[in-house]
Amino acid sequence: MAEVAILGFGTVGSGVAEVIDRNQAQIRRDFPEGIHVKYILDLRDFPDSPYADRVVHDIDIILNDPEIRVICETMGGKEPAFTFSKRALEKGISVCTSNKELVDVLGGTLAVIAKEHCCSYLFEASVGGGIPLLRPLRTSFSQEFITTIVGILNGTTNYILTKMERENLPFEDALKQAQEKGYAEKDPTADIEGHDPCRKIAILASLVTGGNVKFKQVPCEGISGIDTMDMEYARQLHCKIKLLGVCRHDQETGKVYVRTAPYLVRHGHPLYGVHDVFNGVLVRGNMVGDLMFYGSGAGKLPTASAVVSDVVECVQNAGHTINIGLSNSDADLFDPMDWEDRYFVRIRKQDLVRATELFGSEIRIVVNENAPEEFAFVTPLIAERDFEEKVKQIPSFMKSIRILKN
């Protein structure tokens, strides 16, 4: 049996143990030797757990055991996860993780250390939970230039937006329901302000370009400013509002544009129909065209299943590094202020003439009978820099939402 250790016995960590035990027969189809959890590292004890006798509190017990082949890092956060992962990789022990925060900040560093020590650093579970996404990107797409990744990468906010749209609920009420269902945390900031999907699109952009894109370099906006009136306008435009991670990679310049923000998604687009707590990711290759990945982007067992898929790949590839195409250099980022989008804009009635002067007569006006004092319009394609300059000159400007191009 290949011996593994789990660092952090929380939701995902306990799920990893469960997947390995319950699906041992399935694992043995691809890896006949089988996989066994030898240690669980946690600060706590779990006296009532069937794994109680495997719990240790000292990382050195794990790192000094020559039988350990893979570590599942499901602790989250930067430290001590980084130090433990680094020490494991330096000993030639592969690391599989769901820790998107660490992957975003230090994934490139850990991937390089893994390569130097003939082992692997894999993080399938860090993006899209149970959806196989990173593995197809680095295997089935070797021959492709990936031009676009656009994804609904956060289940909690997709649930909130779905509730707001279908039941006409204010944001606060939909958030409360998401918390009651256990989707949103007590402190929901990382989800509703877009930090979680922003980390995920940063990881995807890094993999697509082979250079590091860090969360902090990516413009990030969440959904806390979306209201029921926006939903009403979206309906009139035959669109749905979705929180998207967007990555556009230009083959000629090699530059990459990355953003997380709410977008209006038109009826007929593959992401239009991704509802509730589900994730959906559209990947466009220059030869293969559009592919959609859809499924559970969160949850104990789907996320743990993705971690275990990495463990199986690591034990199958013992003694050499699985190339994930991630280096320690920086990606060449497109200046987001130069990026062109069409915008949906809400203003008060008195500024209609001003809006037409600024944006041209081709703006599309959207009237809302439920709000007679205001209206909205859709701009032609315009660079963000120019858009910001123009809306500053509209005294009653209320808000804008980008419209997804394609």
Interactions with ligand HSE, residue window 166-185 (CB under 6 A): 183
Active-site residue flag, 200: yes
Of the candidates 324, 322, 326, 292, which has an alpha carbon nearest to the alpha carbon of residue 138? 324
Q: Is 347 in the site for ligand HSE (CB under 6 A)?
A: no
Decide whether 93 or 190 has the Cβ nearer to ligand HSE.
Answer: 190
- Pick one of 8, 107, 151, 297: the residue that binds ligand HSE (CB under 6 A): 297
When the beta carbons of 198 and 208 are compared against ligand HSE, the nearer one is 198
- CA–CA distance, 73 with 367 (Å, rounded to integer): 52
What is the DSSP code string of 179-206?
HHTTSS-SS-HHHHTSHHHHHHHHHHHH
48-56, 154-162, 217-225, 316-324 -> range binding ligand HSE (CB under 6 A): 154-162
| 196 counts as binding ligand HSE under rule CB under 6 A | yes
Q: Is the Cβ of residue 127 or residue 403 nearer to ligand HSE in the bound state?
A: 127
Distance of CA 131 to the CA centre of its chain: 11
Q: Catalytic pick from 38, 200, 242, 300?
A: 200
Q: Which stretch binds ligand HSE (CB under 6 A): 77-85, 134-142, 153-161, 363-371?
A: 153-161
Choice from 74, 94, 148, 154 touching ligand HSE (CB under 6 A): 154
Q: Is 155 in the site for ligand HSE (CB under 6 A)?
A: yes
Residue from 18, 42, 124, 191 touching ligand HSE (CB under 6 A): that is 191
CB count, 10 Å around CB of 225?
13
Q: How far is the CB of 196 from ligand HSE (least distance, A)?
A: 5
341 binding ligand HSE? (CB under 6 A): no
- What values do phi and psi take at 186, rounded to 5? -60, -45
Pick from 102, 244, 298, 358 the residue near ligand HSE by CB under 6 A: 298
Tokens (6 digits) for 61? 């017990």
- Interaction between residue 104 and ligand HSE (CB under 6 A): no
Least separation in angstroms between residue 328's CB and ligand HSE is: 24
- For tokens 């419209």, the residue is 403
- Output the six-digit token pair for 234: 């979206």
Asked if 97 is part of the footprint of ligand HSE (rule: CB under 6 A), the reply reads no
DSSP string of 74-123?
A: ---SSTTHHHHHHHHHHTT-EEEE--HHHHHHHHHHHHHHHHHTT--EE-
Contact stretch for ligand HSE (CB under 6 A) within 72-80, 151-159, 339-347, 359-367: 151-159
Distances in Å between the Cα of 164 and the Cα atoms of 2, 224, 232, 276, 344 are 48, 12, 10, 11, 19
Report the distance separating Cα 93 and Cα 209, nearest Å. 27
Q: Pick the piece of the chain touching ligand HSE (CB under 6 A) from 113-121, 150-158, 208-216, 217-225.
A: 150-158
Least separation in angstroms between CB 228 and ligand HSE: 22
Distance (Å, rounded) from C-alpha 7 to C-alpha 51?
13
Q: 201 Cβ partners below 8 Å, 6+ apart? A: 149, 151, 153, 218, 245, 246, 247, 258, 259, 260
Q: Does 156 bind ligand HSE (CB under 6 A)?
A: yes
Q: What does the binding site for ligand HSE look like in residue numbers (CB under 6 A)?
A: 154-156, 183, 191, 196, 297-298
- What residues act catalytically? 200
